[in-house]
Amino acid sequence: MRIAVKYSMDDVQVAIAGTIQPISPRPPCIGRAIGQLAFIAEFTNHIYKGTAIQVFKEASTVNFQPTVNDLKPLMAFPAIVVVMMEYREVLRNPQRAPWNGFLDGDVGWLNTKFESFGFKPQT
């Protein structure tokens, strides 16, 4: 609900759609990238965190607007959707990046965020 309040919207689904805006038309691979992210979210203990972050970045690019149908597989993983929304918002406005001032940039921020998801640690 905090998302809906932040964007002055009555409904969380409207708030999610409101934060995921296009810069250019959606490429055909967006559904595939989000599907891959949903798949790895389902099997976190079998997927390395670095791989998960790489797929996450591909699915979170701001060069397209995912549709409601594209996002359906991720609705079972609301924490990942929230991180995706935060990441996309910062990609549009880099001055607000939580990782500003850190040497490892977004990689360190994403590593921290992905720790709680239970992905397999890098060996």
pTM score, two decimals?
0.70
Alpha-carbon span 62 to 65, nearest angstrom: 7
* 35: pLDDT strictly greater than 50: yes
User: Domain coordinates of the chain in residue numbers?
Assistant: 2-115
| Residue-wise pLDDT tens digits, 61-113 | 888 888 888 889 999 999 999 999 888 888 888 887 877 765 567 778 888 88
Q: What is the DSSP string of 20-64?
A: S--SSPPPTTHHHHHHHHHHHHHTGGGSBHHHHHHHHHHHH-TTS
Q: What is the pLDDT of residue 103?
A: 55
Question: What whole-number percentage of the chain has pLDDT above 70?
Answer: 73
